[in-house]
Amino acid sequence: MTNILDFLWKNMSSPASGEMPATPSKASSQQGVAHGTQVHFDPKLVPSLIADHQMLLSIFGDIGNASKQRNSGLLKEKLGEFGNALRGHLLTENIKFYLYLQYSLEGDAESAAVMHDFRKEMQHIGKAVADFLRRYEDTTDWNNAAWEQFENDVMQIGKVLIKRIQTEENVLYPLYLPTGGYK
Domains of the chain: 44-175 (1.20.120.520)
Q: Got the DSSP string for 36-60?
A: TEEEE--TTHHHHHHHHHHHHHHHH
- Please name the amino acid found at residue 59: I
Q: Among the residues of 12-143, which ranges form H helices? A: 45-68, 72-92, 99-104, 109-137
Please check whether residue 166 is in contact with residue 13, taking contact to mean a CB–CB distance below 8 angstroms: yes
User: Exposed/middle/buried for 85, CB within 10 Å: 0-12, 13-18, 19+?
Assistant: middle
Cα separation, 58 vs 3, whole angstroms: 12
Percent of the chain with pLDDT over 70: 77
pLDDT of 29-63, one tens digit each? 344 444 455 678 999 999 999 999 999 999 999 99
pTM of the predicted model as reported, rounded to 2 decimal places: 0.78
* Exposure b/e, 128-154, CB count within 10 A at least 16 = b: ebeebbeebeebeebeeeebeebeeeb
pLDDT tens digits, 63-110: 999 999 999 999 999 999 999 999 999 999 999 999 999 888 988 999
